[in-house]
C-alpha cells in the first residue's frame, strides 16, 4: 500500500515538474496569431487608429470593416469596452473623444447592417 | 554477514518519469498557455499588413509621425519604411485599395525624411510599452502598460502632400538612354513649389484605350516624389497627373543603344512642379 502511495507521490511530483517546465520555463511559443488575441492595450490602440481615420473620412462602413479584424461580433460593444479601458489607463481627452465618436457612429449604423431574419 | 542488496526504487523513478511526460504533454499539447494577450509582432503576416494599413490611415488623418513610428515599432519590422513601401507597391499591383496604398506610401515617405542615413529604424518613438512604456516624458496619457502612444508628437518635417493649390505643370520631359534602368520606363518626379518631392500624387497613364493609375512615393528607395511605369516597345503612352493641368503625350520607347549585344530601350524622365 505504501508502495502505491510513493508511486503516486512521485508521479505527482513529475507532473508538477512537467507542467512547470511546459508552462513557465519553456511555454509554447505562438506565432501567426490573430488580432483577437492581442493584449487589450493593442486592441484599444487599433480602435484608436480606426477612430482617427474615421474622424477624417467619416466612412463608418470602412471603420466597421477595419474593426472586424479584432474579431468582435459587435464592434460597437467592443469599442465601448475599449473606451472604458482607455479611460481607466488615462488616454488623452482628444483620443477619448475620437473613440466616443466612433462608438456613437457604430451604434447608429448597427441596426441598418443587421442581416434580416429569415 | 552479507548486507542485503539495496535496489534503486525503480517504481518511484518510473512514476516520476510518467508524471513528467504527462506534465509536458499537458503543458504543450493538451492545455497549452492560452493565446491571449499577444503582441502585434506575433500576428500572421496578412494581419500585420492590415495593421500597417490602419497605422498609415491614422497617420494620414492626424499627421502624427511620432505616434505612427511608435505603432510601427510594435510590428518589429526590420525596416518599416521598406516594408511599407513594398506593401504599397504590392497593393497597387494586385488591384487593392488605392487609398490604402497611398496612405502606406505617404507614411513610408514621411519615415524616409526622418530616418538618418544608415539608420534602419525610426529616429524617435517609444519602445515596446510592455518594456517600460512611452519614452516621451511629455506624454500625459499613458499608463505604464499601455501601448502606444498618445504623444501627439509634432512632425519634425511634415511630408508635403498634394493638396489644394495650383495644378502641377510639366517642367521638363526628356528621353534618356540609360542601360542601368531595368527596362524602358516613364519616370515621374513631382515637386512642390519649394521643390520638395511630393508623395501621394496620383499619376494616370493611358495607352490604346487602357489606363493605369499609381502614386508617387511608393518607390521610396528612389524618392518620395517618384513613380515609374514600364513601357512596351511599339506602344504610345500619354501621362498626366490627377492634379496636373496638361497631359504629356507621345511617350514611346525605341532602341537607343546596344550593350553587350543586347538592345537598350529609351526611357522618359518627366518632372512636374507646382508653380
Sort out which chain A residues have CB atoms less than 8 A from B153's CB and list them. none
On whether both A63 and A108 belong to a single domain, the answer is yes
Task: Among B10, B12, B100, pick the best mutation site for testing chain A contact (most A Cβ within 10 A).
Answer: B12
By C-alpha distance, the chain B residue nearest A51 is B58
Q: CA B82, CA B220: separation in Å to the nearest integer?
A: 7
Q: Which residues pair with B213 in a beta bridge?
A: B204
> Residue A115, Cα to own-chain centre: how many angstroms?
24
Contacts of B13 in chain A (CB under 8 A): 10
CATH no., domain B169-273: 2.60.40.10
Residue contact B27–A27, C-beta within 8 A: yes
**Least CB–CB distance from A52: residue in B16, B17, B58:** B58
In a domain, A117, yes or no: no
User: Residues A63, A78: one domain?
Assistant: yes
Dihedral-angle region of residue B76 (phi above 0 means left; psi in -120 to 50 means alpha; beta otherwise): left
Report the domain count for chain A: 2
State what percent of residues in chain A have pLDDT above 90.
Answer: 57
Do residue A26 and residue A41 come from a single domain? no
Contact A14 B60 (CB under 8 A): no
In this model, does residue B198 exceed pLDDT 60?
A: yes
Query: Within this chain, do residues A47 and A101 fall inside the same structural domain, yes or no?
Result: yes
- For residue B260 the three cell numbers come to 553587350
Determine whether the interchain pair A10/B12 forms a contact, defined as Cβ–Cβ distance below 8 Å: yes
Same domain, A57 and A92: yes
The per-residue pLDDT for B269 is 92
Q: What is the mean pLDDT of chain A?
A: 87
Select the more confidently predicted residue: A51 or B37: A51
Check whether residue A90 and residue A108 sit in a common domain: yes
* Full residue range of the structural domain in which residue A68 is found: 35-112
Instruction: Please indicate, yes or no, whether residues A17 and A53 belong to a single structural domain of this protein.
Output: no
Residues of A whose CB is below 8 A from B18: 11, 14
Q: What is the H or E stretch that residue B169 is in?
A: strand B169-176
Residue A7 lies in a domain: yes
Residue with cell 513649389: B193
- Average of per-residue pLDDT values in chain B: 78
Are the beta carbons of B55 and A92 separated by less than 8 Å?
A: no
CB neighbourhood size of B186 (10 A):
21
- The answer to whether the Cβ–Cβ distance between A30 and B42 falls below 8 Å is yes
> What is the pLDDT, as a whole number, of residue B27?
82
* Number of cross-chain residue pairs from A and B with Cβ atoms under 8 Å apart: 181
User: Quick one: B191 exposed, middle or buried, by C-beta within 10 A (0-12, 13-18, 19+)?
Assistant: middle
Determine the Cα angle at B262 with ends B256 and B263, to 5°.
20
- Residues A12 and A58 grouped into a single domain: no
Helices (H), chain A: 2-20, 40-57, 60-67, 75-89, 93-113
Q: Where are the domains of chain B?
A: 41-131, 169-273
A75-93 per-position pLDDT tens digit: 999 999 999 999 999 999 9
**pTM value > 0.80:** no
Partner-chain contact A53 B57, CB within 8 Å: yes
**DSSP letters for B88-116:** HHHHHHTT--HHHHHHHHHHHHHHHHHSP
Q: In terms of domains, do A16 and A63 share one? A: no
Tell me how close the Cα of A61 comes to any Cα of chain B, in angstroms. 14
Given a contact cutoff of 8 angstroms between Cβ atoms, the answer to whether A56 and B61 are in contact is yes
Mean pLDDT on A42-52:
96
- Tell me: ipTM over 0.90: no
A15 with A39, same domain: the answer is no
Do A8 and A22 fall into the same domain?
yes
**Residue B160, min C-alpha distance to chain A (Å):** 18
Chain B contact set for A44 (CB, 8 A): 146-147
- Contact call for A41 and B50, based on CB within 8 A: no
Rounded distance between C-alpha atoms, residue B87 and residue A37, angstroms:
24
Is B23's CB within 8 Å of A16's CB? yes
Shared domain for A46 and A23, answered yes or no, is no
pLDDT at res. A51: 96
Q: Do B37 and A3 touch (CB under 8 A)?
A: no
Amino acid at each position: 500500500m505504501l508502495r502505491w502511495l510513493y508511486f503516486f507521490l512521485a508521479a505527482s511530483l513529475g507532473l508538477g515538474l512537467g507542467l512547470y517546465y511546459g508552462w513557465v520555463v519553456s511555454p509554447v511559443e505562438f506565432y501567426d496569431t490573430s488580432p483577437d488575441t492581442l493584449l487589450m492595450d493593442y486592441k484599444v490602440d487599433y480602435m484608436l487608429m480606426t477612430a482617427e481615420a474615421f474622424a477624417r473620412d467619416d466612412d463608418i462602413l470602412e471603420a466597421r470593416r477595419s474593426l472586424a479584424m479584432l474579431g468582435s461580433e459587435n464592434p460597437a460593444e467592443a469599442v465601448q469596452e475599449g473606451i472604458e479601458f482607455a479611460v481607466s489607463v488615462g488616454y488623452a481627452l482628444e483620443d477619448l473623444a475620437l473613440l466616443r465618436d466612433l462608438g456613437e457612429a457604430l451604434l447608429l449604423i448597427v441596426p441598418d447592417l443587421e442581416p434580416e431574419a429569415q | 554477514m552479507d548486507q542485503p542488496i539495496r535496489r534503486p526504487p525503480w517504481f518511484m523513478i518510473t512514476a516520476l518519469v510518467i508524471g513528467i511526460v504527462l506534465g509536458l504533454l499537458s503543458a504543450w499539447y493538451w492545455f497549452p498557455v492560452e493565446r491571449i494577450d499577444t503582441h502585434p509582432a506575433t500576428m500572421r503576416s496578412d494581419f500585420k499588413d492590415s495593421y500597417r494599413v490602419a497605422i498609415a490611415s491614422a497617420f494620414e488623418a492626424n499627421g502624427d509621425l511620432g505616434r505612427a513610428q511608435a505603432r510601427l515599432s510594435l510590428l518589429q519590422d526590420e525596416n518599416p519604411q521598406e516594408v511599407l513601401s513594398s506593401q504599397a507597391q504590392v497593393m497597387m499591383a494586385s488591384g487593392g485599395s488605392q487609398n490604402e496604398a497611398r496612405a502606406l506610401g505617404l507614411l513610408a515617405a514621411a519615415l524616409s525624411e526622418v530616418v538618418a542615413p544608415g539608420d534602419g529604424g525610426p529616429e524617435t518613438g517609444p519602445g515596446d510599452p510592455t518594456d517600460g512604456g512611452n519614452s516621451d516624458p511629455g506624454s500625459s496619457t499613458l499608463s505604464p502598460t499601455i501601448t502606444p502612444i498618445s504623444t501627439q508628437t509634432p512632425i519634425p518635417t511634415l511630408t508635403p502632400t498634394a493638396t489644394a493649390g495650383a495644378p502641377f505643370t510639366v517642367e521638363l520631359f526628356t528621353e534618356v538612354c540609360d542601360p542601368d534602368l531595368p527596362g524602358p520606363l516613364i519616370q515621374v518626379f513631382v515637386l512642390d513649389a519649394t521643390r520638395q518631392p511630393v508623395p501621394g500624387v496620383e499619376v494616370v497613364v493611358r495607352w490604346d484605350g487602357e489606363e493605369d493609375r499609381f502614386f508617387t512615393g511608393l518607390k521610396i528607395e528612389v524618392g518620395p516624389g517618384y513613380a515609374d511605369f514600364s513601357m512596351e516597345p511599339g506602344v504610345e503612352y500619354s501621362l498626366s497627373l490627377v492634379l496636373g493641368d496638361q497631359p504629356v503625350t507621345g511617350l514611346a520607347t525605341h532602341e537607343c543603344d546596344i550593350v553587350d549585344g543586347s538592345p537598350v530601350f529609351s526611357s522618359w524622365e518627366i518632372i512636374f512642379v507646382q508653380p
